[in-house]
Amino acid sequence: APPVRGSVELRGVRFGYADGPDVLRGLDLVVPAGQTHAVVGSTGAGKSSLLRLVLRFSDPREGQVLLDGTDVRELGWDALRGAIGYVSQDVFLFHGTVRDNLAYGRVDATDEQVQEAARQAEAHAFITALPQGYDTVVGERGQTLSGGQRQRIALARAILRDPALLVLDEATSAVDTETEAAIQRSLAAVTASRTALVVAHRLSTVRDADRIWVLADGRVAEAGSHDELVEAGGIYAGLWAV
Ligand code: M5T
């Protein structure tokens, strides 16, 4: 099997928007290849800003963002897009069939590959229950899908594209216990054989993470496993009131 790739490193990253103040003030963070790390913190702590830098939607004022040891500014756009699968909070579904939405970015995928990805992402069951199954039209003026269903479609898309690194901005929307469990299994399937950096809003996601980074005021305030951070009784423990 090829070596797992997708390691991420931020070195002394300072960042702010336009001529505004610094939002990130000297951030150091490492996600080794193959691990799943969670980023948590209160609103405005800089979680989305961190993801923007990894995706190169923005560049830092100072410091470096590295993907597999190479500064993302030196990677071509094609290499960057090929290496990273991004699942945003606001999943983009276009007007077309569920199948076409799943195969977005992988138009060459066979029906078998599409269905296998949907199965892994815990999306196959709800898709087959739709009026026309995989041929159901969704998106603008199509069948409406719930937030949890959209997130699983996006995770299936990521499985099909097989990126080295998954960058996930977890949805904040409340879901029922069953959907929560389905999303958790879906996420476990996507992250099993790759590297993942997740801005986490679900306790189940952070509990499963190899390491949790707690941001406060644009800095890493705490880092460790769930148990370590609960034990420490700091910001993390307060966030979940555990
Ligand atoms: C961190 C400011 C924001 C906050 C800080 C996206 C964005 C953010 N900000 C801007 O000035 N312009 C922008 O386009 O940056 O914001 P964040 O990174 O979005 O924080 P978060 O992801 O931890 O917050 P949330 O609410 O998504 O959990 O001062 O005003």
Least confident of 63-77, 79-93, 128-142, 166-180: 166-180
Q: What is the average per-residue pLDDT within 49-62?
A: 97
Q: How many angstroms does the Cα of residue 128 sit away from the middle of ligand 1? A: 38
- DSSP alpha helices (H): ranges in 64-146? 77-83, 98-102, 111-120, 124-128
Residue 83 CB–ligand 1 contact under 6 Å: no
For 164-184, the pLDDT digits (tens) are 999 999 887 778 888 889 888
How far is 82 from 144, CA to CA, in rounded Å? 29
Place of tokens 């590297």: 195
Residue 155 CB–ligand 1 contact under 6 Å: no
Q: How many angstroms does the Cα of residue 48 sit away from the middle of ligand 1? A: 6
Residue 27 CB–ligand 1 contact under 6 Å: no
Q: What six digits make up the tokens of 210?
A: 């190899």
Query: Crossing angle, helix 177-191 and helix 111-120, to 10 degrees?
Result: 120
Residue 109 CB–ligand 1 contact under 6 Å: no
Helix (H) / strand (E) containing 185? helix 177-191
List Cβ neighbours of 13 (8 Å cut-off, separation of 6 or more). Answer: 24, 26, 27, 28, 53, 60, 62, 63, 64, 65
Q: How many angstroms does the Cα of residue 53 sit away from the middle of ligand 1? A: 13
Using DSSP bridges, classify how beta strands 96-97 and 195-199 pair: parallel, antiparallel or unpaired. unpaired
> What is the overall mean pLDDT for the chain?
93
Give the residue among 156, 103, 100 at the shortest CA–CA distance from 126. Answer: 156
Q: What six digits make up the tokens of 176?
A: 């029922």
Confidence of residue 92 (pLDDT cuts 50, 70, 90): confident
Using DSSP bridges, classify how beta strands 22-31 and 8-16 pair: parallel, antiparallel or unpaired. antiparallel
Q: What is the average per-residue pLDDT within 13-18?
A: 97
Residue 218 CB–ligand 1 contact under 6 Å: no
Q: How many angstroms does the Cα of residue 240 sit away from the middle of ligand 1? A: 21
Q: How many angstroms does the Cα of residue 47 sit away from the middle of ligand 1? A: 7
For 33-45, the pLDDT digits (tens) are 999 999 999 999 9
Residue 17 CB–ligand 1 contact under 6 Å: yes
180 in Cβ contact with 15 (< 8 Å): no
Residue 2 CB–ligand 1 contact under 6 Å: no
State ipTM: 0.96
Residue 242 has pLDDT above 70, yes or no: no
